[in-house]
Structure 1
Amino acid sequence: MSTVRKLTQGLSKRYIVNTILSPVVMIGEVLMEVVIPFIMAKIIDVGIAGKDLPFVVKYGAIMVGLAVISLICGMLGTRFSTVAAQGFACTLRQRLYRKIQSFSFANIDRFSTASLVTRLTTDVNMAQNVYRMLIHMCIRTPFMLVAGTIMAFRMNSQLAVLFLIAVPVIVISILTISNIAHPRFKKMMAKFDALNGAIQENLIGIRIVKAYVRGEFEEKKFRKAADDVRTAQVHAEKCIIFMMPIMQLVMYVSMISVMWFGGRLVVGGHMLSGELISFFTYVTQVLSSIMFLGMVFVSLVMVQASNQRIVEVLDEVPDIKNPENPVMEVKNGEISFDKVDFSYGKREDNLILKDINLEIKSGEVVGIIGSTGSSKTSLVSLLPRLYDVFKGSVKISGVDVRDYDITVLRDSVAMVLQKNVLFSGTIRDNLRWGNENATEDQIIAACKAADADSFITSFPEGYDTMLGQGGVNVSGGQKQRLCIARALLKNPKILILDDSTSAVDTATEGRIRNALKELAPETTKIIIAQRISSVKEADKIIVLDEGTVSGVGTHDELLKSNKIYREVFESQQQGSGDADLAGGED
């Protein structure tokens, strides 16, 4: 499929109609503009030269009428092209966003977040502007070029040859400059990605920046990124700036030549003065059309880099797809890892998880302990198919997760991640992300189980309290409890708590664990933690060490049989409270 078809695919009937109407009405504008100089010549050479006032008034009125029609056609053409271009951009952004939503984590890893933002904004804006220019000028300009040339030759073919000499000069200049400009604009868009990345990183981490008084450092980093964009823009556009002077020089030389030789023809009686004025108008129309075509061509070169970046996203094949005949029900939370190997790059020489064999019964409470880099998060990310295994299989309820419908599978697995994410809106709106049809009683029950109801009701507006972007007006521990409540509202078969009680005290954590047992007794609960106290009462504890299972058993069994677990327990007992197993993501 060509790039144009890929970009315009899915455009609604309304915008297609506007896309067609714009060049059609522009033809009407061109016809009026071509006829007007012809009538003007008649007024000068017949009416004014013959002092025929009725003739001047009659044809003057016709010329005014044609000008009004031309104006109306121009206004309609502009409106149609604007509506069509806005619709094109809106449709394209929706398609890009929908495609990104289908990506697996591995797909997203291939694009940076900043790059995806640039493609959805800057790149689509450039494509929109060129789309509008194309449908507005693609018929008008060539039609004007042909019609103006025909009328000019009809008036004086010898004089018309003069300005046609300018055409190859302009065409060669356009092709040369365009070939130089394209790679430069491609580099410029990459610099835009880096700039957006710097902005995004700074805004997301603004509290850390202020806490460490690193504002000046971040400002320098941003200034460098902005300067890189400026340098790339100058480098890309300095070759384009030669386009207009070259075309104007050729255009003015042509006009001067026409005026010189045309004036000699008028003096010699071989051409009427009105014809020369009209001929000069046609020359201006033709040369202006060539200039517009040059600008369109340059715009196409400039937007080519953006189009390629957009198509890269549209052509990206999601790593994780639904099977042809998916299983549409997850019966229970029984989990099985069978000889599982996993690598983010799908490389056998860089395995993150190696030969994982685990059996977890439905309804069990399972703890996972391990140091930073032991791949605890990577292990549980295989359950909802955020990633797929490299070798082996992961089964839920006896069915390979790759055989389930993705939506059904992910609705059955609730994850409360290390980084707690809340969205702008009320607390109730955020909770209903777990279940948009949840009743008030279900919301309150989930919040009580997550030990969140007490602090929510302490707010003046209770569950209708507005949360700022990212939940900036609640504490870290409150965020965690809201995210746990949100996950519980899904009524999942499997609940994964990825170090999601690290910001609450041990008493609160204990109340949450007890409430989870009562509210969701049949749900399989997987708790990734740094504190032994968080998993001590689990039915089963898994110890991970550098991507392998070091031990599996109860707290008492692991104290006797597993050196890593025993060392962690003893270090925490000695007084630091919580040994630094690793708070980071893995």
Structure 2
Amino acid sequence: MLLSLLTRYLRRYWPFLAGVLVFQFVSALAALFLPTLNASLIDEGVANGDVPYILRTGGWMLVVAFGQILAAIVATFCAARAAMSIGRDLRRDIFSRVSAFSEREVSQFGAGSLITRNTNDVQQVQMLAMMSATMLVMAPMMSIGGIIMAVRQDIGLSWILAVSIPVLLIGVAIVISRMVPLFRSYQSRIDTVNRVLREQLTGVRVVRAFVRESIEEQRFRVANTDIMDIGRRVGSLFVLVFPLVLLIMNVTIAGVVWFGGIEVDAGNTQVGTLFAFMQYVGQILGGVMMASFVAMMIPRAAVSAERISAVLASETTLVPPAEPITVMPRPGEVTFDNAEFIYPGAEQPVLSGISFRADPGETVAIIGSTGSGKSTLVSLIPRLFDATSGTVQVHGVDVTQADLSVLWRGIGLVPQRPFLFAGTVASNLRFAKEDATDEELWHALEIAQAADFVRERTGGLDSEISQGGTNVSGGQRQRLAIARAVVRRPEVLVFDDSFSALDLTTDARLRQALWRELPDVTKIVVAQRVSTITDADRIVVLEDGRMAGVGTHDELLEISRTYREILDSQKGVDA
């Protein structure tokens, strides 16, 4: 999974990777050549007191060292450029895929997990790509080249390397094998912390209203402690690796000094050769240590790559048609024909046998008890969900065959929980129509009964709106969301219980304005109060996901027991 993900994205930046290979190769050659020059300097120059040879060889050592530094800088730049580009592309592709998800896929992964995958997980893969490009190229060259050069210097001491390198590799492999399950658990714990934190921030009013601060703090403390426990276990493994590498390195060098000193004393080797051998040992074990460092990053990056690939491999249920219909024959018409919807894994459908039609300019109200499927029903109109059987037609076209951009341009949706973006009143309204003039914005605000309170705000249309609209009341937020839908001037307006936070007077004025100013627009209204929908052209009554009646207010009083029960339960409530 990790290799395929890296291969897919790295090949886009092959010029930078080629630069990494070339300059890392140059840097490694320079590093391998320096100990040989050092041995020659000691054995030929210092031992014989040859000053010109010392100066000449020392000058070459400076040139080689400078070349090594320059090559390493260029290689690191190329690696960083490629790795950062990979991170950017991954975040872009994840965002594009998630943007195409239906509510079903978003619920399946969870908003907190999707955020973690697009930030923390991408960062892990990005860091591995960076370290791999800079170390996994250099480490093998230093290790293999160092072994060759060390053997050339003194084959009699090479047995020390034959013992120390396998011991080091086995020790590191044991530690890394224990990290894989820990990293998978660590990433899931990060998802949990993000979810808890997101719930507490978005539900801060509820938390305070029910005096749940201490309980929520405990929830976060538990999630945070879980991360700490996993991180501590991972950290303890990290702590083992570097002392292990240093121990083996120091023991190896001590062995080289000990046995090399014996050979020097016996006249079998020279001091310069011994120093060069020690430097090559340092390079060999240093290369192994670099490779070990990258290898320790692989398990966590592999888990992250698996989570990223799961998002990228997920196909949205909102599959665009092979030949999308872009011309709508009957704008404003909405038809349900025996539509059914069942959530994945559910035993019973949440909607079943839904059949009704709304003609252009008509107002159709949807009413029913809590959990009867009202919001799910209107979500089928803009294709937030796809009906599992039956058909839903908008503008005379099956929504599964319509071009999505054309379909959505003709629909204005005001969700049950309206969301405002950080910015200004104007920027939120222009979210529906970017080129809307100030006059159009004010007209929409007048229709939505929001113009008065916007004028009272400092800055008017330019007054600031915080993220989620937390600096306005619930009723104001609903009216701004309604104004945003009106600005688009769609053929179909869908109100998902969008008047619940309004008082009866404001509700009545708003509906009158909508009906008066938008007579040709089809209005689908989910409502709780019967008194506000009595003048609807058609009322659809839902009970347990099925239609318990359809007709006008007077007709339903005669034929629908469920409608009469709803009306009786609300007597005196709106008085």
Provide TM-score, normalisation by structure 2: 0.96
Amino acid at match of 1:42: S
In structure 2, what is the equivalent of residue 342 of structure 1?
341
The one of 121, 126, 131 equivalent to 2:124 is: 126
Amino acid at match of 2:175: I
In structure 2, what is the equivalent of residue 271 of structure 1?
269
In structure 2, what is the equivalent of residue 371 of structure 1?
369
SS in 1 for 2:571: helix
In structure 1, what is the equivalent of residue 107 of structure 2?
109
Partner Cα distance (1:264, 1:372) in 2: 90
In structure 1, what is the equivalent of residue 501 of structure 2?
503
Question: How do 1:6-21 residues align onto structure 2 when only pairs under 5 Å count?
Answer: 6-7=5-6, 9=8, 15-21=13-19
Deviation at 1:266, TM superposition (A): 0.5
Relative to structure 1, the CA distance from residue 31 to residue 22 in structure 2 (aligned partners, 3 Å threshold; closer, same or farther) is same
CA deviation profile, 1:80-132 (whole Å, cap 9, x unmatched): 22222222111111111111001111111210111111111111111111110
Deviation at 1:342, TM superposition (A): 0.8
Tell whether the 8 Å contact from 1:141 to 1:293 is kept in structure 2 after alignment: yes
In structure 1, what is the equivalent of residue 24 of structure 2?
26
Question: How do 1:182-331 residues align onto structure 2 when only pairs under 5 Å count?
Answer: 182-330=180-328, 331=330
Tell whether the 8 Å contact from 1:89 to 1:128 is kept in structure 2 after alignment: yes
Amino acid at match of 1:475: S
Partner Cα distance (2:538, 2:174) in 1: 70
Partner Cα distance (1:557, 1:414) in 2: 29
Amino acid at match of 1:508: T
Partner Cα distance (2:218, 2:428) in 1: 36
Relative to structure 1, the CA distance from residue 173 to residue 350 in structure 2 (aligned partners, 3 Å threshold; closer, same or farther) is farther
CA deviation profile, 1:268-291 (whole Å, cap 9, x unmatched): 111110110111000110111112
* Ranges in structure 2 where 5+ consecutive residues have no aligned partner: none
The one of 88, 100, 115 equivalent to 1:90 is: 88
Amino acid at match of 2:344: G
SS in 2 for 1:309: helix
Amino acid at match of 1:344: Y
- Bigger mean CA deviation after superposition, 61-70 or 133-142: 61-70
Partner Cα distance (2:358, 2:172) in 1: 68
CA deviation profile, 1:386-426 (whole Å, cap 9, x unmatched): 11111111112332111101221122222101111000111
Partner Cα distance (2:389, 2:239) in 1: 56
Tell whether the 8 Å contact from 2:380 to 2:392 is kept in structure 1 after alignment: yes
Partner Cα distance (2:146, 2:367) in 1: 80
Question: How do 1:363-442 residues align onto structure 2 when only pairs under 5 Å count?
Answer: 363-442=361-440
SS in 1 for 2:386: coil
- Bigger mean CA deviation after superposition, 500-509 or 559-568: 559-568
Amino acid at match of 1:402: T
In structure 1, what is the equivalent of residue 60 of structure 2?
62
Tell whether the 8 Å contact from 2:20 to 2:75 is kept in structure 1 after alignment: yes
Runs of 4+ in 1 over 4 A off after TM superposition: 10-13
Relative to structure 1, the CA distance from residue 360 to residue 87 in structure 2 (aligned partners, 3 Å threshold; closer, same or farther) is same
The one of 469, 473, 476 equivalent to 1:475 is: 473
Deviation at 1:11, TM superposition (A): 6.2
Tell whether the 8 Å contact from 1:181 to 1:240 is kept in structure 2 after alignment: no
Partner Cα distance (2:431, 2:552) in 1: 34
Amino acid at match of 1:343: I
1:147 maps to 2:126: no
Partner Cα distance (2:52, 2:23) in 1: 32
In structure 1, what is the equivalent of residue 3 of structure 2?
4
Deviation at 1:7, TM superposition (A): 4.4
Tell whether the 8 Å contact from 2:339 to 2:392 is kept in structure 1 after alignment: yes
Partner Cα distance (2:541, 2:29) in 1: 81
Relative to structure 1, the CA distance from residue 8 to residue 484 in structure 2 (aligned partners, 3 Å threshold; closer, same or farther) is farther
Tell whether the 8 Å contact from 1:93 to 1:124 is kept in structure 2 after alignment: yes
- Bigger mean CA deviation after superposition, 507-516 or 373-382: 507-516
CA RMSD of aligned residues (A): 1.7
Tell whether the 8 Å contact from 1:495 to 1:526 is kept in structure 2 after alignment: yes
Amino acid at match of 2:574: G
In structure 2, what is the equivalent of residue 582 of structure 1?
none
Deviation at 1:237, TM superposition (A): 4.1
Aligned length: 574
- Bigger mean CA deviation after superposition, 226-235 or 422-431: 226-235
Tell whether the 8 Å contact from 2:16 to 2:78 is kept in structure 1 after alignment: yes
In structure 2, what is the equivalent of residue 583 of structure 1?
none
Relative to structure 1, the CA distance from residue 12 to residue 31 in structure 2 (aligned partners, 3 Å threshold; closer, same or farther) is closer
In structure 1, what is the equivalent of residue 449 of structure 2?
451
Deviation at 1:260, TM superposition (A): 1.2
Relative to structure 1, the CA distance from residue 305 to residue 411 in structure 2 (aligned partners, 3 Å threshold; closer, same or farther) is same
**Percent of aligned pairs with the same residue?**
35
Provide TM-score, normalisation by structure 1: 0.94
* Ranges in structure 1 where 5+ consecutive residues have no aligned partner: 579-586
Deviation at 1:156, TM superposition (A): 0.9
In structure 1, what is the equivalent of residue 36 of structure 2?
38
In structure 1, what is the equivalent of residue 541 of structure 2?
543
Tell whether the 8 Å contact from 1:23 to 1:138 is kept in structure 2 after alignment: no
In structure 1, what is the equivalent of residue 574 of structure 2?
577
Relative to structure 1, the CA distance from residue 572 to residue 490 in structure 2 (aligned partners, 3 Å threshold; closer, same or farther) is same
Tell whether the 8 Å contact from 2:2 to 2:301 is kept in structure 1 after alignment: no
1:158 maps to 2:152: no
- Bigger mean CA deviation after superposition, 223-232 or 334-343: 334-343
Partner Cα distance (1:241, 1:542) in 2: 66
In structure 2, what is the equivalent of residue 584 of structure 1?
none
SS in 2 for 1:165: helix
Partner Cα distance (1:534, 1:24) in 2: 75
Question: How do 1:480-499 residues align onto structure 2 when only pairs under 5 Å count?
Answer: 480-499=478-497
Partner Cα distance (2:10, 2:421) in 1: 31
Tell whether the 8 Å contact from 1:102 to 1:318 is kept in structure 2 after alignment: yes
Deviation at 1:3, TM superposition (A): 4.1
Tell whether the 8 Å contact from 1:163 to 1:258 is kept in structure 2 after alignment: no
SS in 2 for 1:402: coil
Tell whether the 8 Å contact from 1:8 to 1:92 is kept in structure 2 after alignment: no
1:517 maps to 2:544: no
Partner Cα distance (1:356, 1:508) in 2: 32
